[in-house]
Each structure stands twice: as C-alpha cells, then as structure tokens.
Structure 1
Amino acid sequence: MASAFIGSSVKTTKGPSVAGTLAETVAAVSRWGNQPSSEDVEEMIRDSALARHAALVKYLENKLAQAKGKLKKVEKALAKVQENLEPTELPTDLETISDEERFLFRKIGLSMKPYLFLGRRGVFDGTIENMHLHWKYRELVKLIVKRKNIAQVKHIAISLEAESGGVLVSVDKTTQGYAIIVYRGKNYMCPQALRPGNLLTRRQALARSVELQRYEALKHHITDLQERIELVTSELEEMEAGKKFEVHKALYSKFDDGSIPNEDEEGEEEPFSEVEDPKSEEGKLEGQSMIPADCNLRYQAL
C-alpha cells in the first residue's frame, strides 16, 4: 500500500533531460563567457596599476596645492608679527679688544655659573634687559643657546651684540649647549630704558617662533610632496611606455594612500614642549671657539 502511494506521488518529467549535455555546455558558455587568459589578467592588472598611479599623482598634486596655500597664509602671518621688529645694525666704530683680553674673557665667561638661557623665543626686548641687569654687577654675560645649526647660533650672537651694544667675545659649544660670551665694554653706560623699543615683546616673540616653526614644517612637507610626485610620475611614464614592471610592485607601491598624510594629520600640530633650564654646572669646553679673533661678522636682519 505504501509503495503504491509513493509511486503515485512521483511525477514523470516530460521531454528529454539536458543535464550534462552539449546543449547545457553551450548555454553556460554563452551566458558566462570565456575565462580570461593569463595575458588578459596581466593586461587588467596593468590598466589597474596605471589608473591607480594616475589617481595617486592627482591626489599628491591636490595636496601640494593645499600646502602652498597654507604656506602663503603663514608668510602673511609672519610678516604681520614682525611689523614692529626693526633690528639694529652693527655700528662701524666697534670697540675692539686684544687677543689676550679675548682669551681671558673667554676663559672667565665659560667658568661663570650665572647665565641667561635663550629659549625658542630668540632675541626679544626682555633678553636685552636681562643682559643690562647682568652688566650692572659683572663685565661679562653668558648666554646658553640650544640650537642644532651653528649658523643660527652665530646669527643670534651677532644680533645680541648689535642690540645690546656690547662686544662679542666667543661662541663655544659646551655640554649645556652653545655658550655666547658678550663683554659690556670699557666705556659701558647703563641706558635709561633697559628694554629697547625696536624689538618684539615676549608674546610677539612666541608668536613669531610658532609661525617660523609652521613655516619650516610646510617647506619640508612641500619638498617631500614634490619628490613623491616626480617619482610616481616617472613610474607612470615607464608603465605607459610599455616597459616591463613587476605586478606586485605596481599594485603595492611604496607611495600608497596609507603612507600619505591625510588632512587631519596635517592639521594637527605637535605641542610645544617646554625646554627645561639646564643645570648650573660649569660648562666644559669641547672645541675651539666658533668665532674668529677679529669677530668681523656682518649683522643680518632678522
């Protein structure tokens, strides 16, 4: 009885079956198409790499245009900050000291424990005021400057000499940093106004330091972007010329989107870390004086 019920429930298919036949194969091939060959795969990879490099060049060019626009804004802000800055030029009749006096002053200055620490603000009106306050009780003043470039240190030393009216003795590299020794002069007269009016204030000097740091960072960023654009453009020209290239190198170039800083990363600035005052230990001389004996250095405007 059960077998009869099962047999009656099964429906018989009408017409011939096409499963596994030539007709099914022809229909599948016409529907799904032929599988791409290895040459077709390489051609698709090449086209993808070309499109990717072209998009990368366009992206870098946009970033370069944005960086140049920011650089112009920084230049305007820096010019606005330095409106009140009128640096003093070195006088033609500078007081001179003999080699023996210079050697003695340099030795005494390096052994001095009291000093002035020159931070990221550079030379401003408060720096000159502190120098005159030091000269009330001693003939020499010792300033510690922490800079990586000796040219910047020499520029600061000449600026201090011109603004204070003293005589630059030497610039030496010590364990604390660069030590600038300035002699007040034989005919020193304390001025009535200790703070010169032609220099920036403390707040303006800090604003100038921030803008200068932003300016240097943008210049470095623009140079880096230009180098990247040249490299990617040369790779793109080689690929368009039909030269052989590695597939993986084309797909995973070192100038991928992850290595390029986005706008959020560019907008964020690293916080300024306060420089702690160095310990008041005696500076140890590590080399010869950076300033020649004649000290005939020309003052450059800040």
Structure 2
Amino acid sequence: MASLVPRLLRRRTLQPAQVLRSLRDSWMRLPDASSPRPAPLLHCSPGDAGCVLAARSWWFYSPVRYGSTAVTLNTDGGFARFSVGDSGTRQNGGQKQPPANKKKMSRKSKVNQLKWFRLKAKKKMKSPNPEVRIRYKLEKAKRKEEWLIEKLRKYEVPRVPEPVHDPEILTEEEKFYLKRTGEKKKNYVPVGRRGVFGGVVLNMHLHWKKHETMKVVCKPCRPGQVYEYAEELARLSKGTVIDIKPNNTIIFYRGKNYVQPKVMSPPDTLSKQKALEKYRYEQSLEHTSQFIEQLEKELEDYQKHVILFKNRDRAIPEKISNKDAIVDDLTTSSDTE
C-alpha cells in the first residue's frame, strides 16, 4: 500500500489548455478534406490563467457542432467532461421543461366578467328598440334549446340485441274472452309522466305472476302516444297486446307458456330517477320550442309593421306635392281667365 502512494501523487489532472490543444490537433488530422474543419479555437500558453477561464466559459456556453451532433465540454473541478446531444436537456438533468400553463383567472376576475355579461344583457333587455329585445330573447332561447338537446342525448339508451320472439297467435274467440276478463279485473300498472322505464316492466311481470291479463293505464298521455307505449311495452315484456281503449288503457296478455324471467327489469331501460330527469328536459324543450316560434312570429310582425310605416311616410310627401300641383294649376287657370 505504501508503494502506491508515490504513484498516486505523481498523477496530475489535465489542464484545460492541454485538452483544447489535443482536441484541436485531432480535428485537424481528420482524413476527409471535404468535411468542415474548425479554425484553431484558442492559442494558450501553459501558464495563462485568463485563457483557461475564457476557454471554460466558451466551451460551457457554446456547444461545438460537427455534422448534426452537439458536443459540450464541461471543465468544472479541473476535469474535462464531454456531453453529446442537446445542451438544454443535459443542463436540466435530461428532462425537457413542460410548457407553461395558461394563467388561471382569479375569482374576482370571473365575478367581474359575469357582471359585465349581465350588464350587457340588461342593456339589451331595456333597449328602446323592440327588435333588439326580441332578437336577444330569441338568441337566448336558441342557446337553451341546443343545451337541452345535448342533455337529452345522454338519456338515449342503446338497444340490446334480443333473441327472436315469436308471439302467440290467438283466435278471435280467445281475444274476446281475454278482453272481457281484462276489463273486469282491477289490477293495473300506471304509466305516468316518466313514461316507459324499467319499473313499469317489473310491475307487469309481478302482476303476471298471479293474473293472465293486466291493464296499463297511461295518464297523462298525448294523442297517439298510447300506441307508442303499447309497442314499447310489448317489446320489453314479450307480452301480447289484446286491446287499446280510447281512455288510454292497454290490455296485455302474458302468454300460454309464460315463464317469469330472472331479470324482470330490462337492462336497456332507464331508472326511475333518470326517467324523471328526461321528462323534465323534454318538457322544457317543448316549451322552449314553442317560445321560439312565438318570438319569430313577433319579429316578423314587427318587421312588417316597420315596412308599412316607412311606406306611409314616403306616401305623405307625395300627396302633399300632388295637392300643391293642383292648387298651382287652379291659380294659373284663374289668372288666364
């Protein structure tokens, strides 16, 4: 161990000036004459400290490119370290800086922006021009209509591919008998404002557990909507429609070989809460569309009114000029006589 100490002491670190000279000589000895050769970088003497500092700063801040590769020399601590690649990424630990995020709005700026929008809307609502007021209401109603349509798209349930259902063929006598028995019985399933959802089909199967026939009472129901309900319930419950009454009552028959399914509520139906939300959006959309039609009619009437008054204002000076011409003719005729 003692013999290794003198050898270790004899080892000296390379001076930066010597490193630069060796690098310059190696570049000058390149065999390819057509390749771009850099000019001599620095001429330093062995004891020139200022030249060493200049070399350090130049090599650290200015990477040398040969071809398409950037070579950076770092001489901190008296040792020469080369790095190949992008100098910016090497200095940051090999990681690129993420892009700067957009400046978020403060709460106060958001409140001020909302106040500005409200003030702008208030000015339009209190405008002396009726056309400005009507157009503002119309734009607002159309925006609401688009928003409601987007909301209703979320409640569209895709239909699940079902096995082919072969409905039973009933004779006229069987239909008449089932119709009379269904009218006499008091068991029924209500279909309200939520429409057809999973709970309605579940109640139908529970009724069919003890009764062959059952009634479905639709209330409230628009004209013709009862037929849509009958078709949808027949598809979901695999029952047979016996009769549709004028008071929006449907009589269903479960079938001769009825077997209660394990899952009585079909998966491609809405829940009770979502069905109510869908109904509310549909009602709002219906009223909004009616309001839009009303506003469009008002705007059209107002434009007709404006055109009518413009024509009337143009006609009044023409009448006055005609009267003046008649008076002038009368005066000239009296003078000639």
Q: Same fold (TM over 0.5)?
A: yes
Taking structure 2 as the reference length, the TM-score comes to 0.52
Taking structure 1 as the reference length, the TM-score comes to 0.58
Provide the C-alpha distance between the structure 1 equivalents of 2:162 and 2:283, rounded to a whole number of angstroms: 25
What is the number of equivalent residue pairs in this alignment?
Answer: 190
Q: Which residue of 2 aligns with 1:241?
A: 311
Q: Which residue of 2 aligns with 1:224?
A: 294
Secondary structure class of the residue paired with 2:194:
coil
How do residues 286-301 of structure 1 correspond to structure 2 at under 5 angstroms? none
How do residues 2-81 of structure 1 correspond to structure 2 at under 5 angstroms? 55-81=129-155
Secondary structure class of the residue paired with 2:139:
helix
How do residues 1-302 of structure 1 correspond to structure 2 at under 5 angstroms? 55-82=129-156, 84-86=157-159, 93-174=166-247, 178-242=248-312
Secondary structure class of the residue paired with 1:197:
coil
Secondary structure class of the residue paired with 2:224:
helix
Gaps of 5+ in 2: 1-125, 315-337
1:85 Cα offset (Å): 4.8
Provide the C-alpha distance between the structure 1 equivalents of 2:313 and 2:217, rounded to a whole number of angstroms: 58
Instruction: Tell me which stretches of 4 or more aligned residues in structure 1 moved more than 3 Å.
Output: 87-93
Q: Does the CA contact (< 8 Å) of 1:167 and 1:183 recur in 2? A: yes
Structure index of larger Rg: 2
Provide the C-alpha distance between the structure 1 equivalents of 2:203 and 2:221, rounded to a whole number of angstroms: 24
Gaps of 5+ in 1: 1-51, 245-302
Deviations 1:59-101 (A, max 9, x none): 111111110100011011111122x453778957432222222
Could you tell which deviates more after superposition, 67-76 or 233-242? 233-242
1:54 Cα offset (Å): 8.5
Structure with more relative contact order (C-alpha pairs < 8 Å, separation 6 or more): 1
1:163 Cα offset (Å): 0.5
Provide the C-alpha distance between the structure 2 equivalents of 1:195 and 1:148, rounded to a whole number of angstroms: 23
Cα-Cα RMSD: 2.6
Distance change (3 Å), C-alpha of 1:151 and 1:65: same
Distance change (3 Å), C-alpha of 1:87 and 1:97: farther
Deviations 1:86-123 (A, max 9, x none): 37789574322222222222222122211111111111
Provide the C-alpha distance between the structure 1 equivalents of 2:300 and 2:264, rounded to a whole number of angstroms: 53
Q: Does the CA contact (< 8 Å) of 2:196 and 2:229 recur in 1? A: yes
Secondary structure class of the residue paired with 2:214:
strand
Secondary structure class of the residue paired with 1:181:
strand
Provide the C-alpha distance between the structure 2 equivalents of 1:186 and 1:163, rounded to a whole number of angstroms: 18
Secondary structure class of the residue paired with 1:241:
helix
**Identity of counterpart residues, as a percentage?**
30
One-letter amino acid of the counterpart of residue 302, structure 2: V
Secondary structure class of the residue paired with 2:154:
helix
